[in-house]
Amino acid sequence: MTRCVPSSAAAEPHVLLTDAGPLVALLDRSDPHHTSCRRVVDTLTEDLATAWPALTEASHLLSFSWPCQRARLEMLSSGVLRLLALDEGDVARIEQLMTKYRDVPMDLADAALVRLAERDRLDRVFTIDRRNFSIYRAIRRGRLRIIP
């Protein structure tokens, strides 16, 4: 039986962009990346932040478990996980990124995170997708530093 645990990141003014993979791993104790992602969160001094496409992807991947779904929602309502807004002004750049990296391929969640990194001048991403994020480049940020 899968067991879910809420996150305990400390609230700080800075944010760490968070991909869907760690959101799943933090909540699903049976996930092979649970322990390493838990270690990251236990040492954070910034908030976890994500975009709605990554949150949607995590929701889909956690659809097998209502307790995990509920814990994900609690992360949002408690402020442990912040949802960074995307608007119509971000769509053109997201499309450019997905076109540029179509051979990887880059999905909407990854493009949204890279766009947020560019727009909000963030340089780190919490992901278990090292292969793809080591390829992506953000304008004026270059390669994002991958955590863990």
Q: Say how many domains are in the chain.
A: 1
| CATH, residue 41 | 3.40.50.1010
Taking residues 82-98, what's their average pLDDT?
A: 97
Contact 118, 144 (CB under 8 A): no
pLDDT of residue 10: 34
Q: Is residue 120 part of a domain?
A: yes
Query: What is the distance of C-alpha 51 from the center of its chain?
Result: 7
Output the pTM of the full model: 0.87
Taking residues 68-88, what's their average pLDDT?
A: 94
Q: Please, which residues bridge with residue 146 across strands? A: 125
Per the structure, the complete domain to which residue 139 belongs is given by 15-147
